[in-house]
Structure 1
Amino acid sequence: MIDLIVAGGGPAGLATAIHAARAGLEVVVAEPRRTPIDKACGEGLMPHGAQALAGLGVQVTGQPLRGIRYLDDRHQAEARFRGEPGLGVRRTDLHAALAHRARQLGIRVLPVLVDGVRQDDSSVSAAGLRARYLAAADGLHSPIRRGLGLDRPVDGPRRHGLRRHFAVAPWSDCVEVHWSPSAEAYVTPLAPDLVGVAVLTSRRGSFEQHLAAFPALLDRLPAGAAGPVRGAGPMRQRVRARVAGRVLLVGDAAGYVDALTGEGLSLALAGAAALVGCVRADRPEAYERAWRSVTRRHRLLTHALMWTRGRSALAPHIVPAAAHLPPLFSALVNRLS
């Protein structure tokens, strides 16, 4: 019998499959779309994420990221990573590199869609396959999660992300986070002649309309973009549990707070390792605690930052506080990295 079916062949699913194969498990990935798949993404890996990727034997080129910079119309704060750098890499390049590593390990990727799951005390059946366990890596709006009744209601503003590439040399080796009253714009160096710009907001409007709120950034960008606008959201996803019998949720399917701290890819890699450890030990019930442990620091900081962002009296002070308290800002950034 197959040990693990991975439903979804994006970065989270492929990372899970690679971990499983390296642990000696028989794993099959179910993914009907062709690789690589592009999507709205900040495209930055924090240092621990870049190290986790290298630890899987995944080789991918990109731009080294050496810190985080916050900016508003009057202030600037920068925190440098104390250890190894992070990595700015195009989503499609990362996906292709993970797919290549999966092929090296002999992992089967089948062009099938998991649109229903059946399970008993000893196995899971889906898409004509039967295995001991199933990892649901089917994204932010996971149909598997919804089908298992694991979604929870979400209150408050619904935030979305829009991303576009620009053919311009990076002017910094940091991820820049530009703040306006209603949105944040992230600039990630991706190549010697390419940056990615992602806008996060709860307001409606086109990418160009939102970008107009950041005139200093707009002045640095060329008139023409290097690709289409990609969108994603709403980002906040609340989940009742990460485990339902022999089905375990991983990546964005496991729940999502917000992209404000740019940790999505890194958390997916950490969650994949935790999931495979529990499957290998034949202890799926341990995964909920393991997932909470590897994501706790990120979730607490993101919740705190989002709470502050949502208070009109406090939000304008986020960047000034970071600028006036550089040791604290550096400590927070390095705790995440």
Structure 2
Amino acid sequence: MSHPDAAPRPGDVRRAGTPEVDLLVAGAGPAGCATAIRAALAGLSVVVVEPRSGPIDKACGEGIAHSAVEYLTRLGVELSGRPFHGIRYVDATHQVDARFTAGPGLGVRRTTLQAALLKRLSDLNIPVIQARVGPITQNTSSVTAANFTAHYLAAADGLHSPIRRQLNLSGEKSGEVRRGLRQHFRVSPWTDLVEVYWSRLGEAYVTPVADDLVGVAVLTSARGTFDSHLDAFPALKRRLQGAQPASAVMGAGPLRQRVHARTAGRVLLVGDAAGYVDALTGEGIAVALRTSAELVDCIRADRPQDYEAAWRRVSWECRLLTASLLWARNRPLLAPRIVPAAAALPAVYRTIVNRLS
């Protein structure tokens, strides 16, 4: 592992011509930042391009699995938040808990996570250029975008990735229209678990992110406002009675994004840009981190053709479980039986939760 000074300094960055950096990263979300940090620590020169000024917020559940917390810590990212020790499923008549055996996860405000990642980029002298990527051109040895030429480009530009569309890597549009809405409430967490409330409308995730703050994310295909969706979760609504909103409502979706390939020449997709099933299992960041590590290994070996298989290998378990759970969720006869099944088979439920975490 090289010294962090091996990473490029802002004053050293040169614009387009012959490849002046090893890796250009499009997007400064968790997937993009983690890719850039790992690449710099591996001795590669890196530049990040991001059109938005940070820290960047996003509608998400904000629970980070234990394995992902450990990985970010190894990257030198200093996280602060509220630990959680398992997952609780709740419906109108059942409640079942699965506590983690390997260690706690961490509830972290997305803006707090983003700030920690950007600080680590700064510590490593990785330039973050505020610009849009725009048109991409490439040949057998380099790729040029945003007026930079690099040996490789990592596209971490989100769920509706413009780079993915530009390179015709998107698959057929899904008929699924699940979306997410998130808002924070000023209230002390009432449990040390992430709670998932189930109803006919969808799911509501409650994540403790500070000693006086919880995030509530609703996943549903139904139309309506955040407040109207909460009516479908009366037990949760009672919990939040009198709590003041601490953030504006944010939305994201449609969640399902099909991708037929994650590599086009010297461009590799990572994070949500590489395809997304659903937020149902809350494993988005963990999968993004695992696949970003594979991406860096592939470009270090100068074998981008290996990335597709590597991406599938490290993400298949989460994708399979999420797709299976979503399939059951979308069946009127099966959906009401998901939480009762977890309650009837708590050992199986705990095994699944701990396998993912």
2:34 to 11, 15, 19: 15
* Partner SS for 1:239: coil
One-letter amino acid of the counterpart of residue 95, structure 2: Q
Instruction: State the alpha-carbon separation in 2 of the partners of residues 25 and 155 from structure 1.
Output: 37
**Counterpart in the other structure of 1:203:** 222
Deviation of 1:118 (Å) = 0.4
One-letter amino acid of the counterpart of residue 254, structure 1: A
Q: Counterparts of 1:161-180 in structure 2 under 5 Å? A: 161-180=180-199
Aligned residue pairs, count: 337
Does 2:268 align with 1:259? no
1:299 to 319, 325, 336: 319
**Counterpart in the other structure of 2:69:** 50
Instruction: State the alpha-carbon separation in 2 of the partners of residues 155 and 12 from structure 1.
Output: 23
Q: Counterparts of 1:107-118 in structure 2 under 5 Å? A: 107-118=126-137
1:237 to 257, 278, 288: 257
Instruction: State the alpha-carbon separation in 2 of the partners of residues 139 and 91 from structure 1.
Output: 14
Deviation of 1:134 (Å) = 0.1
Q: Which runs of 5+ in 2 are unaligned?
A: 1-19
**Counterpart in the other structure of 2:345:** 325
Instruction: State the alpha-carbon separation in 1 of the partners of residues 175 and 330 from structure 2.
Output: 10
1:227 to 240, 247, 256: 247
One-letter amino acid of the counterpart of residue 289, structure 2: L
Q: What percentage of residue pairs aligned between the two structures are identical?
A: 62
Superposed CA RMSD: 0.8
Instruction: State the alpha-carbon separation in 2 of the partners of residues 183 and 223 from structure 1.
Output: 22
Instruction: State the alpha-carbon separation in 1 of the partners of residues 162 and 173 from structure 2.
Output: 17
Instruction: State the alpha-carbon separation in 2 of the partners of residues 145 and 94 from structure 1.
Output: 25
1:281 to 292, 301, 306: 301
Contact 2:186–2:243 (Cα < 8 Å) also in 1:
no
2:330 to 302, 310, 315: 310
**Counterpart in the other structure of 2:156:** 137
**Counterpart in the other structure of 1:334:** 354
2:57 to 38, 42, 48: 38
Instruction: State the alpha-carbon separation in 1 of the partners of residues 105 and 329 from structure 2.
Output: 25
Instruction: State the alpha-carbon separation in 2 of the partners of residues 158 and 107 from structure 1.
Output: 37
**Counterpart in the other structure of 2:15:** none
Deviation of 1:156 (Å) = 2.9
* Partner SS for 1:185: strand
**Counterpart in the other structure of 1:194:** 213
One-letter amino acid of the counterpart of residue 42, structure 2: A
Deviation of 1:155 (Å) = 3.0
1:85 to 101, 104, 108: 104
Instruction: State the alpha-carbon separation in 2 of the partners of residues 332 and 22 from structure 1.
Output: 33
Instruction: State the alpha-carbon separation in 1 of the partners of residues 77 and 243 from structure 2.
Output: 35
Instruction: State the alpha-carbon separation in 2 of the partners of residues 223 and 55 from structure 1.
Output: 36
Instruction: State the alpha-carbon separation in 2 of the partners of residues 306 and 32 from structure 1.
Output: 33
Deviation of 1:223 (Å) = 4.5
* Partner SS for 2:217: strand
Deviation of 1:224 (Å) = 2.6
1:124 to 143, 146, 149: 143
Instruction: State the alpha-carbon separation in 2 of the partners of residues 69 and 155 from structure 1.
Output: 30
Instruction: State the alpha-carbon separation in 1 of the partners of residues 174 and 29 from structure 2.
Output: 28
What's the CA shift string for 1:41-64, capped at 9, x where partnerless?
100011111111111110111011
* Partner SS for 1:151: coil
**Counterpart in the other structure of 2:7:** none
Instruction: State the alpha-carbon separation in 2 of the partners of residues 79 and 60 from structure 1.
Output: 24
One-letter amino acid of the counterpart of residue 206, structure 2: V
* Partner SS for 2:244: coil
What's the CA shift string for 1:201-247, capped at 9, x where partnerless?
00100000001100110111134311100000000000010100000
**Deviates further, 94-103 or 266-275:** 266-275
Does 2:82 align with 1:63? yes
Moved over 2 A (4+): 154-157
